[in-house]
């Protein structure tokens, strides 16, 4: 979840909770130094459409949106 307005903190992360904690732990175990957590453009987790394509977060993963 997003931090409440005005509670920014010094870590540069606007999110708190399970996913940021998991990513921090994985970064120590696996050894990556950076990652980005962001809200998906259409605000959906993802569901399969009638034509077989996906919406939401799943569609962005398939298309590689945000990968560097």
10 in a structural domain: no
The domain in which residue 33 lies consists of 18-63
Q: Is residue 1 part of a domain?
A: no
- Work out the pLDDT band at 33, boundaries 50, 70, 90: confident
Q: Structurally, how many domains does the chain consist of?
A: 1
- Say whether pLDDT at 11 is over 90: no
Give a yes or no: residue 2 inside a domain. no
**Whole-number Cα distances in Å, 66 to 11, 40, 49, 59, 60:** 21, 10, 22, 12, 8
Residue 3 lies in a domain: no
Domain presence at residue 47: yes
Residue 51 in any domain: the answer is: yes
Residue 31's pLDDT is 93
Q: Is the pLDDT of residue 42 over 90?
A: no
Most confident of 5-9, 30-34, 39-43, 64-68: 30-34
């Amino acid at each position: 979840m997003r931090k409440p307005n005005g509670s920014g903190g010094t870590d540069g992360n606007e999110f708190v909770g399970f996913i940021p904690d998991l990513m921090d732990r994985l970064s120590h175990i696996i050894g990556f130094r950076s990652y980005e957590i962001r809200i998906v453009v259409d605000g959906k987790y993802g569901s399969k459409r009638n034509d077989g394509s996906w919406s939401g977060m799943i569609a962005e993963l398939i298309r590689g949106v945000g990968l560097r």
